[in-house]
Amino acid sequence: MSSVFAARVVVGLAVCTALVAGCARFDESASSPFTEEPTVGLDAEPKPPEDPPGQAPRPTGPCIDPDPNVIATCMDSGAGLVGLGERALVAERRTGRILAVTPVDASTPQPPPEEVASLAVDGSGDGGISDLVLSPTFGEDGLIYAYITTGSDNRVVRLSRNGAPKEILTGIPKGTTGNRGALEWATPSQLMVLTGDAGRPGAAADPASLGGKLLRLDSPSSGTNTPQVVASGIGSAGDICRDGKDGMWVTDRTAAEDRLQHLSPDGNLTVSWTWPDHPGAGGCTGTPDGVAVAMSEAKALAVVTADPNTYAVTADPTLISQDKYGKLLGATAGADGTVWVTTINKSGGEPGEFDDRVVRIPLTGGSAGGPD
pLDDT of res. 21: 37
Query: What domains are defined for the chain?
Result: 70-361 (2.120.10.30)
DSSP 7-55: SS--------SSSB------------TT-PPPP--SSS---PPPPPTT-
Q: What is the pLDDT along the chain (372 residues), one digit of tens a residue?
A: 333 333 333 333 333 333 333 333 323 333 333 434 444 433 333 344 444 444 456 667 789 999 999 999 999 999 999 999 899 999 999 999 999 999 988 788 888 999 999 999 999 999 999 999 999 999 999 999 999 999 999 999 999 877 789 999 999 999 999 999 999 999 999 999 999 999 999 999 999 999 999 999 998 876 667 899 999 999 999 999 999 888 999 999 999 999 999 999 999 999 999 999 999 999 999 999 999 999 999 999 999 999 999 999 999 999 999 999 999 999 999 988 999 999 999 999 999 999 999 999 999 743 333 333
Rounded to an integer, what distance in angstroms lies between the CA atom of residue 344 and that of residue 208?
33
Q: b/e for 194-217, b at 16 or more Cβ within 10 A?
A: bbbbbbbbebbebeebbbbbbbbb
What is the pLDDT, as a whole number, of residue 76? 97
Residue 222 is predicted with a pLDDT of 62
Q: Is the dihedral of CA 251, 154, 15, 143 positive or negative?
A: positive
Residue 62 is predicted with a pLDDT of 86
CA distance 67 to 44: 21
In this prediction, residue 133 carries a pLDDT of 97
Q: From CA 226, how far away is CA 235, in angstroms rounded?
A: 22
Q: Long-range CB contacts (< 8 A, 24+ apart) of 198-207?
A: 198/154, 198/173, 198/174, 199/175, 200/173, 200/175, 201/235, 201/254, 201/255, 203/173, 204/232, 204/233, 204/234, 204/235, 205/232, 205/233, 207/232
Structure confidence at residue 286 (pLDDT): 96
Q: What are phi and psi of 61, to 5 degrees?
A: 150, 175
**Residue 98 in contact with residue 117, Cβ under 8 Å?**
yes
CB 91 within 8 A of CB 132: yes
> b vs e for 12-49, b when ≥16 Cβ sit within 10 Å of the residue's Cβ?
ebbbbbebbeeebebebeeeebbeebbbbbbebebeeb
